Amino acid sequence: MSSQFHLPDVGEGLTEAEIVSWKVAPGDTIAINQVIVEIETAKSLVELPSPFAGTVEGLLVEEGMTVDVGTAIITVSATEGEEAPPPAPPETDAPDPDLKATTTLAATAQATAAAETPAAPEAPAEKPGAVLVGYGIKGHVSSRRTGRSRRTAIPAIGEAPDAKSPSQRPARIHQPIPGIPVIAKPPIRKLAKDLGVALDEVTPTGLIGDITREDVIRHADQAKVFHNIETPQWAPVREERIPVKGMRKQIAKAMVASKFTAPHVSLFVDVDATRTMEYVKRLKTSPDFVGVKVSPLLIMAKAIIWAVRRNPMVNSAWTDKEIIVRNYVNLGIAAATPRGLIVPNIKDAQDMSLRELAGALEQLTITAREGRTSPTDMSDGTITVTNIGVFGMDTGTPILNPGEVGIVALGTIKQKPWVVDGEVRARFVTTIGASFDHRVVDGDVASRFVADVASIIEEPALLLD
């Protein structure tokens, strides 16, 4: 009996997707929940599992084509009785970070549970429309990954770290041995490929001499300054045509809507960041921050949260009928990924300690670079920070993230001559830039906000108030 698999709604409210790559070919024998195709929506890359077991009869859509949700994309000669029943959503444990996401956050947990756990004794009635394996409204499924998926919360400053938590263990440095293959899990190898990192050049710090995500990202950060040294040859073709689709189409749509809807006003200020650099250096050697990445962006994030509390209008939203003042901070972090610019946000950042915020920033960065950022992580932001300093830029005029009225840009921090007490000294100096929606934020409010952020960068001790 032949069955067709229709492009499902992956839970993002989107109506179409591009077929990026097929993982199977006609004649292949496939199992239930085996990944058969990788698709790209406007928000993320998604791997789709098969709801059938059987033999692939034909691929109905070519790679590179964009099709609507509900379109038949593959025909399978299904083994009788092998269609996967749609179980109920499992408990909302976070998926293991070592698993590559096969759907959005919710679908990932459900597909994982369906793949690893027997279905409920009674299969629920089918719901109309295309759905992913693992979706349904009845039954119960438990996951045997529960123990691994529950992560220990990041303790606040002063709390004793969990001795059993891998993030708290001191890193073991293993020097690469010539001729010995590197040890790295598949997701780590994919991350290294996306970032252009040669694994045999990375120093592993894993407990068994394996390469971790942090090792790859650290190596990429150290090497990025050299990326522009080699100049490639001109492409052999005179012109290239890149279709505008997927995430690039979504980015363009959002930026045009923001720029031509919200009247932008931008401000800039040079800041002596020497004390911030000294503070970051102390935090890196503090026992309270073992296993957590600390950078000037962490102090900038905390400064923005502090300044928002003093100037709440920069954390508002404009709706034409009213201005919504949000007394919480979902702090967006502009992240450059291999697929384009995305802005995931840290929910309720105002309630986090400095250490908790550092851990959240690190996890957000890792997730974004691996392409595992979910639509939920990119929704409901209130204000954004973009760190253009990592690219060596002094400042810029950032465009507002749609739905927000403020965005702050942190420029590069480097030593410059600076007048201190009437004398010219070498100090670490940066430029803070910010853009605001002038419908909501007046010049005096914008100026006070930027001045408050600058005051923290100049003197981080103010955060102790």
| Residues catalogued as catalytic | 438
Neighbours of 375 (CB within 10 A): 19
Q: Which of 167, 104, 113, 169 shows the shortest CA–CA distance to 363?
A: 167
What single-letter DSSP state applies at residue 206?
S
DSSP string, 343-383: --EETTGGG--HHHHHHHHHHHHHHHHTT---GGGGSS--E
- Tokens representing residue 41 in the block: 């929506």
**H or E element: which one contains 275?**
helix 274-284
CA distance to 321, 382, 385, 454, per residue, from 312 (Å): 19, 11, 16, 17
DSSP string, 221-258: HHHGGGTTTSPPPPPSSS-------HHHHHHHHHHHHH
Tell me the chain's radius of gyration from C-alpha atoms.
25
Adjacent-strand bridge partners of 122? none
Q: Which of 454, 409, 441, 444 shows the shortest CA–CA distance to 314?
A: 441
Neighbours of 246 (CB within 10 A): 22
Q: Which phi and psi (to 5°) does residue 402 adopt?
A: -50, 135
Q: Are 386 and 410 in contact (CB under 8 A)?
A: yes
